[in-house]
Amino acid sequence: MELYKDNQLKIYNSLSKSKELFKPVTEGRVGMYVCGPTVYSNVHLGNVRTFMSFDMVFRYLLHLGYKVRYVRNITDAGHLENDADEGEDRISKRARLEEIEPMEVVQRYTVDFHETVAEYNFLPPSIEPTATGHIVEQIEMIHEIMAKGFAYEVNGSVYFDVLKYNESSHYGILSGRKMEDAIHNSRALDGQSDKKNPQDFALWKKADERHIMRWPSPWSDGFPGWHLECSVMSTKYLGEQFDIHGGGMDLKFPHHECEIAQSHTCSGKQPVNYWMHANMLLLNGQKMAKSTGNFVLPKEIITGDNSVLSKAFAPSVVRFFNMQAQYRSILDFASDALEASEKGYNKLMEAVNSLDNIEANKTSTFDVASWRQQCYAAMNDDFNTPILIAHLFEAVKVINQIKENKASLNAEDLESFKATIHAFVFDVLGLTNETKQNGSDKIDGVVELLIKLRKEARDNKDWALSDQIRDELIALGIQLKDGREGTTFSIN
């Protein structure tokens, strides 16, 4: 269904710093690129929040009927320790410390990342390209930037000439940084760098003798600068100008600013129409980060094995907790906040579970059409999941009133009500129903089958068989109830 035709989706664009009506380059299709993990250690819960926000965006775009090409890369080379042009490559360093091959580090933490996102019910992206798989294309882009006169070589390394770029374009267009603040390292200030200006950033770095990950290039045996891979891979898979580019707030500068400069130099166009930045998850009032030790691992949530946790929590509870905040707001992680989310999640799932037993009435006492429209309006307002969840809890109230015969829905409304709840809870928010015990849906199926066989026996006046099915189910604690609209059951 092409729901996008009836929905005016607005997205907060970090480039214009305002909410804009979303209009894709090609009608009905969306190209979306999100900066993926650097696979040198386990992702922490703060990283998971960022990726989960874009999983929700991906899910809602799919729900609206867009054909989405979602590219989320894996950084497996080129990301230096301090995010700038200094220090050791994060993966090389880990390999050296553990005395294993860099590709063993990459393999280990890529597998860990995939396990984590599967546990937290992420939809896989359409393409998941790696930096090391695109060295040839990265070298090509450096040639192109040099040919246009915006990069220079010094001692086997190649740097992007930010000051020259800024003469004809706007470096800082995304982050709002002024040129004097847009400095990429501190060594440059000491005059130890090869760079012409401290604002310049590396496109290619010559590898020193201890650097294990290296590739031949016209300039030196070395490796690409971190910012380059995203320009190369987004252009390759989504084109010179595409719809959405996402990432964590902390990537705005320097990473995304550099991506714009590189891509804009090559194509002469603004590469991205909507820049989206997800906000961070705090722990103890500080940003979660591996470097400071202030973090929780997604696996620890499931086992409860971290002193900041009072107990273990299901992945869906964490997802629900994340979705209770808008993706652009800062969210504070705390065990008691998770416990509150767990209560809310259980209440929501209980209501969803009882939806199957609700029957239609002649009249409706609740305006389903307008409620449904409000759910869409929340999501269309820059993916406002907390408002959506508030509307879902209005539905919970209605479900409970119907159970107490204090409200009713006619057949058409009930169908739309059920479909809308299922779509938003499972497809868009990506929650899974963890309140149903493993296999309980299978038991439901088996009992339904026995009810059908019993009805056939009764239709054939085979009372002995129909009584046998009923009695043996009672012996198992399953009670059948014959009513006007057929037979229902309850399990004790």
Per-residue b/e over 311-327, b at no fewer than 16 CB within 10 Å?
Answer: eebbbbbbbbbbbbbbb
Binding residues for Zn ion, rule CB under 5 A, total 2
The nearer residue to Zn ion, 105 or 230, going by C-beta atoms, is: 230
- In angstroms, the Cα distances linking 427 to 14, 28, 181, 316, 421 are 26, 19, 43, 13, 10
Specify the stretch interacting with Zn ion by CB under 5 A; choose among 28-36, 201-209, 265-273, 476-484. 28-36
The first and second tokens of residue 288, run together, are 């979660």
Give the integer Cα–Cα distance in Å for 25 and 14. 18
Is-contact 75 47, C-beta < 8 A? no
Applying CB under 5 A, the span of 32-40, 329-337, 412-420, 476-484 interacting with Zn ion comes to 32-40
Nearer to Zn ion, 35 or 280 (CB): 35
Task: Give helix 385-403 / helix 368-380 axis angle, nearest 10°.
Answer: 160
**Closest separation in Å from C-beta 217 to Zn ion:** 21
Q: State the minimum distance, in angstroms, from the CB of residue 283 to Zn ion.
A: 24
Query: Of residues 161-180, which lie at the interface with Zn ion (CB under 5 A)?
Result: none
Instruction: Show the binding pattern over residues 206-235: x = contacts Zn ion (CB under 5 A), - = does not.
Output: ------------------------x-----
| Least distance to Zn ion, CB of residue 72, Å | 10
Of 82 and 192, the one with the shorter C-beta distance to Zn ion is 82
Whole-number minimum distance, CB 35 to Zn ion, in Å?
Answer: 3
CA distance 344 to 74: 34
When the beta carbons of 151 and 230 are compared against Zn ion, the nearer one is: 230
Which of 35, 43, 105, 473 touches Zn ion by CB under 5 A? 35
From the CB of 169, what's the least distance to Zn ion, in Å?
A: 20
Give the interface segment with Zn ion, choosing from 27-35, 111-119, 138-146, 366-374 (CB under 5 A).
Answer: 27-35
Nearer to Zn ion, 10 or 236 (CB): 236
Q: By C-beta, is 250 or 444 nearer to Zn ion?
A: 250
SS3 of residue 273 by DSSP: strand
Q: Which stretch binds Zn ion (CB under 5 A): 31-39, 58-66, 103-111, 410-418?
A: 31-39
Asked whether position 238 contacts Zn ion by CB under 5 A, the answer is: no
Nearer to Zn ion (CB atom), residue 30 or residue 35: 35
Cα–Cα distance between 282 and 289 in angstroms, integer? 9
Among the residue ranges 30-38, 127-135, 266-274, 330-338, the one whose residues contact Zn ion (CB under 5 A): 30-38
Could you tell me the smallest distance in angstroms from the CB atom of residue 278 to Zn ion?
13
Considering the complex, what minimum distance in angstroms separates the CB of residue 200 from Zn ion?
Answer: 19
DSSP of 12-68: EETTTTEEEE---SSTTEEEEEE---BTTS---HHHHHHHHHHHHHHHHHHHTT-EE
Of 35-43, 144-152, 309-317, 392-400, which segment contacts Zn ion by CB under 5 A? 35-43
d(Cα 270, Cα 260) in Å, to the nearest integer? 7
| Dihedral angle over CA of 303, 306, 307, 310, nearest 10 | -30
Between 39 and 230, name the residue whose CB sits nearer to Zn ion. 230
The least CB distance from residue 107 to Zn ion, in Å, is 21
User: What is the phi/psi pair of residue 446, to 5°?
Assistant: -65, -40
Q: Is 268:241 a contact under the CB 8 Å cutoff? A: no
Chain Cα centroid distance, residue 12: 17
Q: Which is nearer to Zn ion, 38 or 380 (CB)?
A: 38
Give which of 89, 87, 60, 38 is closest to 251, Cα–Cα: 38
CB of 250 to Zn ion, least distance (A): 12
What share of residues in the chain are helix, strand, coil (percent, to 5)? Answer: 45, 15, 35
> Is 280 or 314 the residue whose CB approaches Zn ion more closely?
280
The DSSP symbol for 207 reads: -
To the nearest whole angstrom, how small is the minimum distance from the Cβ of residue 162 to Zn ion? Answer: 18
Interface residues with Zn ion (CB under 5 A) are: 35, 230
